Each structure stands twice: as structure tokens, then as C-alpha cells.
Amino acid sequence: MISDFRGRTAVVTGAASGIGRALAAQCGMEGMHVVAADVEDGPLTETVELIGGDAIAVSCDVSASESVDALADAAFDAFGEVHLLCNNAGVFQAGSVWDATVTEWEWALGVNVWGIIHGIRAFVPRMLAQGSEGHVVNTSSLAAFMSGSMTAPYNVSKGRCFRPHRGVGRGPESSRLVDRRVRPRSGLSEDSYRRVTP
């Protein structure tokens, strides 16, 4: 477990707004190097400007493995090590199981589930190799425990967020890593950012 965040490196996906921006800002306030990632380049640049210091912005589509691999390369090239990985990027897709299109299902699962898998695969081996403590945080939702008939893609995808982390920090080779799941309450977005900004 990390006891001192100063001088350590955090990578936060979905950092252009909401919870991701709040996480990235808090990491900066803790004295961490911050690698902020998102597909929304304009708002992402604003996040990095608000954090200041040596924070960097990396354009990244977490649903694409090659994009997440490039994010990992950028983070390790810039700061040498990564100690905190926040797989936070997420999207909302409404619709029933039968009304939502295949494209809509693929979008929700691509970002909300595959984004976490790609993050773990791209970062965890390198985090283990560096030999220091680390954290992997996956953002889910209370929707994972709900069964709203008109939000099926979102609910299903957020329910799957609980599974990929299970193998992180469980075996002897990964005992230095701590895995966490975050289940934000409804409405926790920009207000959370305002509470942590100086």
C-alpha cells in the first residue's frame, strides 16, 4: 500500500471531466505526477492546466488496446514508473436489452469493461516489474446492482467492472499491488471536482 503519494505517478483515464477530473486533481494536490487521459482533447487540456505542475495529457480511447498501450508507453517514458492506475473512463448507454443496437452494446462494453481489461494488461506487468507498491482503482457504479429495464447496456457493463480486478493483487507475484473498486453515488461528478480543487 502506498503511504506517501508525493513524487509518485498516477494515471487517470476519463480525466477530461467529472470523477476523472476530480481524481486527477486530487492526485496533483497530493504531489503526484499526473498522466491524464481521455478522448476529449479540449477538456482534457483544461484538466491538465488546472492541475499544473508536470501533469501531462494523453489522448486515449480505452476501448482500443493499442491506444491504452500507447498511454502506458507515454506514462512510463515521462515518469519512469506508475504507482496508481485509475481505470475510470466510462460511458452511459440507455436502452433495453433488445432495443439497444449492437453498436451501442459494443460501445458500452468497449469502454466500461474492455477499458479496464486493457488498462490492467498494459500497466500491471510494468508496475510489477518496477518492484514498488501500487494501486489499481476501477470505477464502477451503483447501477451494477440495479436492473433498470431501459439502462441495460450501462447496468450490464458496470456490473462487469467488478470482475477484471479479481486477479490483481491476489497472487504472490502481484502482492505489492492493491486493487480497489469505486462505486460512486448518483450525482457524484463535477461537484466532487469542485470539492477537491484548491
Give me the DSSP letters along 57-78. EEE--TTSHHHHHHHHHHHHHH
- The span from the CA of 94 to the CA of 137, in Å, is 25
Residue 49 is assigned to a structural domain of this protein? yes
In a domain, residue 189? The reply is yes
- Does residue 140 lie in a domain region? yes
What is the number of domains present in the chain?
Answer: 1
Q: What's the pLDDT score for residue 195?
A: 37
Answer yes or no: is pLDDT of 87 > 70: yes
Residue numbers of the domain that contains 51: 9-196
CATH of the domain at 35: 3.40.50.720
Evaluate whether residue 162 is within a structural domain.
yes
Q: Which residues are catalytic?
A: 154
State the pLDDT at residue 113: 92
Task: Confirm whether 112 is domain-assigned.
Answer: yes
pLDDT at 197 over 50: no
**Would you say 12 and 55 are in contact if contact means Cβ atoms under 8 Å apart?**
no
Residue 4 forms part of a structural domain: no
The Cα 88–Cα 119 span in angstroms is: 10
Q: Which of 8-17, 33-42, 125-134 has the lowest mean pLDDT?
A: 125-134
Coil, strand, or helix at residue 92? coil
The edge-to-edge listing of strands for the beta sheet with 177-182 is: 56-59, 33-38, 9-13, 84-87, 134-139, 177-182
pLDDT at 111: 94
Work out the number of other CB atoms within 10 angstroms of the CB of residue 189. Answer: 15
Q: What confidence tens digit (pLDDT) does each residue in 157-181 have?
A: 677 666 555 556 555 454 555 555 5
124 lies in some domain? yes
Helix %, strand %, coil % of the chain (to 5): 45, 15, 35
Residue 100, pLDDT > 60, answer yes
Residue 1 falls within a domain, yes or no? Answer: no
**Residue, of 60 and 98, whose pLDDT is higher:** 60
Q: Is the dihedral of CA 110, 113, 114, 118 positive or negative?
A: positive
